[in-house]
């Protein structure tokens, strides 16, 4: 055997020894490691289970069940369930009130979103620029307060404010030498009155969100822009607005979802005296209100489920459109 061969032999022996050691080590490590992992996961799922069960029972199950019953003839008070395919949707699309409710919801959303963004951003800018420290804290608290009050309770107050005979709204109009309005009793003014209540209630949240967004705009960028001769509007349009675009996008998505789903304030202010349908001459009958009326006044649960599914699809499509627009317009740092 040459010296080179002996080296090779020793090498291969060493290698096999090393290889065996690795296998033994791996085997040793493999069993307890995988066992530990499974144990860890079981504990994790076990801890999550109560929360998941509640979430499933009150969120996923109703949502899935809603899709299910929209293809059936189903009533909560009857055990007879019959598959009807798209029949509920056919009935729905042939119902003029359904289309009216979609248009009302769209009108409500189209006014509410720009108004929400414009007013909440405006107030946030004022709060950021005009008020600092303790004063700022007071105004932030004051603006946010309506959002934490129950909307049903505050809507009752707004019903009183919009009373055509003794309400505060008409008192202010008279004071400004403007003609009094019928507000909730008027076909044209009922929905705007509800919008005012909704804006008053929701603005606080959006103001706080915008304040958070504005505080992320570095002060030095605004200072540089000032030094470069930019006036306030240009600084807002060219610096602040693009930099807060992720916040604006978030507010738009959030308010789109909440306005399409708005129910409590519309029902409280205009639903009750009109059989739950909303407003004089259905003027405040939004999709969400019609779902309620169809399900709980007329007990057409399957039809209401179909309506809800359509409402869900509308919100989904709107959100997708917003996402596509945001990918082009929103600047993420």
Among 123, 161, 191, 243, binds other proteins (CB under 8 A): 243
Query: How far is 198 from 155, CA to CA, in rounded Å?
Result: 9
Interacting stretch for other proteins, rule CB under 8 A, among 7-15, 50-58, 214-222, 309-317?
A: 214-222
Name beta bridge partners: 72: 83
Among 45, 58, 296, 331, binds other proteins (CB under 8 A): 331
Query: How far is 75 from 305, CA to CA, in rounded Å?
Result: 11
Q: Does 226 bind other proteins (CB under 8 A)?
A: yes
From residue 92 to residue 131, the character string flagging contacts with other proteins as x (rule: CB under 8 A) and all else as - is: ----------------------------------------
Tell me the residue length of the chain.
333
How many angstroms separate the Cα of 225 from the Cα of each of 117, 232, 233, 248?
A: 24, 9, 11, 22
Name beta bridge partners: 82: 73
3-class secondary-structure state, position 153: helix
Number of residues that bind other proteins (CB under 8 A): 19
Query: How far is 198 from 109, CA to CA, in rounded Å?
Result: 11
Query: How far is 71 from 83, CA to CA, in rounded Å?
Result: 6
Q: Does 142 bind other proteins (CB under 8 A)?
A: no
Least distance (Å) between residue 226 CB and other proteins:
5
Choose between 242 and 273: whose C-beta lies nearer to other proteins. 242
Interacting stretch for other proteins, rule CB under 8 A, among 83-91, 189-197, 215-223, 303-311?
A: 215-223
Residue 239 is given by DSSP the state: I
Interacting stretch for other proteins, rule CB under 8 A, among 84-92, 190-198, 218-226, 266-274?
A: 218-226
Cβ atoms of 97 and 282 within 8 Å: the answer is yes
Provide the binding-site residues for other proteins, judged by CB under 8 A.
Answer: 218, 220-221, 223-231, 234, 238-239, 242-243, 331, 333
């Amino acid at each position: 055997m040459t010296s080179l061969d002996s080296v090779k032999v020793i090498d291969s022996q060493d290698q096999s020894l090393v290889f065996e050691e690795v296998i033994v080590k791996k085997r040793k490590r493999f069993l307890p490691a995988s066992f530990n992992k499974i144990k860890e996961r079981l504990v994790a799922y076990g801890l999550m289970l109560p929360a998941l069960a509640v979430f499933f029972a009150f969120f996923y199950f109703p949502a899935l069940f809603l899709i299910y019953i929209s293809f059936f003839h189903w009533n909560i008070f009857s055990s007879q369930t019959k598959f009807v395919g798209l029949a509920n949707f056919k009935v729905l699309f042939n119902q003029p009130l359904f289309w009216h409710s979609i248009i009302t919801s769209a009108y409500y959303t189209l006014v509410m979103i720009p108004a929400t963004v414009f007013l909440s951003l405006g107030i946030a800018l004022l709060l950021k620029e005009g008020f600092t420290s303790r004063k700022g804290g007071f105004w932030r608290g004051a603006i946010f307060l309506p959002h934490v009050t129950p909307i049903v309770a505050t809507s009752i107050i707004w019903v009183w404010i919009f009373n055509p005979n003794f309400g505060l709204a008409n008192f202010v109009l008279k004071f400004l030498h403007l003609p009094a309005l019928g507000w909730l009793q008027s076909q044209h003014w009922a929905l705007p009155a509800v919008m005012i209540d909704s804006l008053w209630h929701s603005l606080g949240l959006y103001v706080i969100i915008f304040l958070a967004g504005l505080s992320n705009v570095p002060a030095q960028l605004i200072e540089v822009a000032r030094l470069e001769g930019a006036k306030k509007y240009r600084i807002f349009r060219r610096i602040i607005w693009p930099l807060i675009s992720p916040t604006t996008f978030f507010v738009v998505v959030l308010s789109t979802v909440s306005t399409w789903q708005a129910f409590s304030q519309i029902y409280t202010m205009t639903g009750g005296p009109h059989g739950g349908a909303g407003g004089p001459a259905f003027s405040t009958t939004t999709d969400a209100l019609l779902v309620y009326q169809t399900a709980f006044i007329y007990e057409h649960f399957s039809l209401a489920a179909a309506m809800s599914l359509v409402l869900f699809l509308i919100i989904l499509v709107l959100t997708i459109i917003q996402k596509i627009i945001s990918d082009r317009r929103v600047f993420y740092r």
